[in-house]
Amino acid sequence: KNFYLKIKGGIESPTVPSYIKSDRTVGFSNFEIKVAGAILLDSKILFRDALSGILNNGTLPPKVNTPIEYTIHWVISNYITDVKNIKVSAFLQGGVTWTDKVKSNIGSVPVYDPNTQEVSWTIDRLASGRGFVNSSAEAIFQIQVIPSTLDIGKVKNILSPTSLRAEDGFVASDIVSSDLQLTTELTDDTTVTREEGVVYIGSKNFSNYRAIRKKMEVY
């Protein structure tokens, strides 16, 4: 960790000032540049998540006015410098609530502010190589979603884009990272099809559901 770029330069010229007894002019210089680190943030959402130890209740596709639960994972990998004062944050969207089921593989866990609907995770320090020479720092929290009639035929927004800000402990500069918003489309859950992420009215056969979705796409 803590890499430097070291530059050594030299220059010479046959032009010599009259007051110097030499056949050339020579100059040298050394320069060092500290290489800043970087953090990779991955925000993902799962419905079937047995490995997390958290059970998500509900059925797919999500149904109007019917609760369904998902788990959200925040995974942080750190590159070549130690970083400190890390804060990860995002906002729950309308119709989404916090269930108080939360865990992480480090000392701190995400917390929820019901007044602002912000979820935030504060970490004092992460060593370089976290996620490369050992496991990534990861937090998991569960949310409950109740789709409304406004969501019929669409994927529902669940969590705003997630942002991360930290301080590089080597070069004393800010490091930022982010990931896209999360929806019921569940692109990270390989057990779920895209169609199972679209909100429907509740008919057990999907002919009515598909017809409504097609009509929505036309409009």
pLDDT at 44: 97
Q: What are phi and psi of 84, to 5 degrees?
A: -140, 170
pLDDT at 219: 46
pLDDT at 7: 95
My answer on whether omega of the bond before 61 falls inside 30° of 0, hence cis, is yes
- Within a 10 A sphere around the Cβ of 179, how many other Cβ atoms? 19
pLDDT at 213: 52
CA distances from 20 to 27, 28, 200 (A): 14, 18, 88
pLDDT at 205: 47
User: pLDDT per position in the chain (219 positions), as tens?
Assistant: 899 999 999 999 988 887 888 888 889 999 999 999 999 999 999 999 999 999 999 999 999 999 999 999 999 999 999 999 999 999 999 999 999 999 999 989 999 999 999 999 999 999 999 999 999 999 999 999 999 999 999 999 999 999 999 999 999 899 999 999 999 999 999 999 989 999 998 754 444 555 555 555 544
**Whether pTM exceeds 0.75:** yes
pLDDT at 56: 97
Beta bridge partners of 177: 164
